[in-house]
A = this chain, B = another copy of it.
Amino acid sequence: MPRVGLSPAGVVDAAIAIVDESGPGELTLSAVAGRAGVATPSLYKHVRNLAELRRLVRRRILEELTGRLSDAALGRSRDDALRSIMRAYRSYVVDHPGRYAAMDQSAEPEPELDAASEKLLGVVLAVLRGYGLEGPDLVHAARCLRSAVHGFAVLEAAGGFGLPEDLETSYELLITMVKSGLPHPTPAP
């Protein structure tokens, strides 16, 4: 049999392509194998099982998203940075709704993703620290920011916003809401 040169990363590539095209519900080993040009059991040479593949997919997505956010934060601070990462977050979801949907399909918290999540959290914390936030205030602010952004993203990716009003405008309001709701220990310097 002519080897096809698969690798864990290649398997994840195929999985991501499926998620992009058909959503996380269609992510099955046979589908991945089909796309990779290989019989299903061959995948086990590269990936422990389906659960592990899902984890790798989520990690890949998380890292990709983190990359976008940290690019968006580069050279900016305060409201400028906040707005920029919030817009980057949503634009990732708009560009890849399937991927984003795949990311929150996990039932349990997964220690394997902690490193990746922490990096993303790091970007967010850095931006919020620019407002002079620290300690518990910083954590609470980060949670709220994350909730707002994630909530909007999930709903949009799932087609949960039925009405015809412009989503951009709604998101701008969300950005305003977060900005105006941050604790303000240090007014502008």
Q: A101-B107, A165-B136 are in contact. Are A174 and B147 (CB under 8 A)?
A: yes
Contact B159 A155 (CB under 8 A): no
Q: A107-B101, A140-B165, A154-B154 are in contact. Are A181 and B173 (CB under 8 A)?
A: yes
Contact A107 B170 (CB under 8 A): no
Asked if A178 is at the interface (CB within 8 A of a chain B CB), the reply is: yes
Which B residues lie within 8 Å of A104 (CB)? 104, 154, 158
A106 CA / B157 CA spacing, docked (Å): 11
Number of residues of chain A lying within 8 A (CB) of chain B: 47
Asked if A141 is at the interface (CB within 8 A of a chain B CB), the reply is: yes
From B107, B158, B174, A109 is in contact (CB under 8 Å) with: B158
Q: List 20 A-B contacts (CB under 8 A).
A: A23-B108, A109-B159, A109-B162, A114-B162, A140-B165, A140-B173, A141-B173, A143-B155, A143-B173, A144-B173, A147-B151, A148-B148, A148-B151, A148-B174, A150-B151, A151-B151, A151-B154, A154-B154, A173-B183, A177-B178
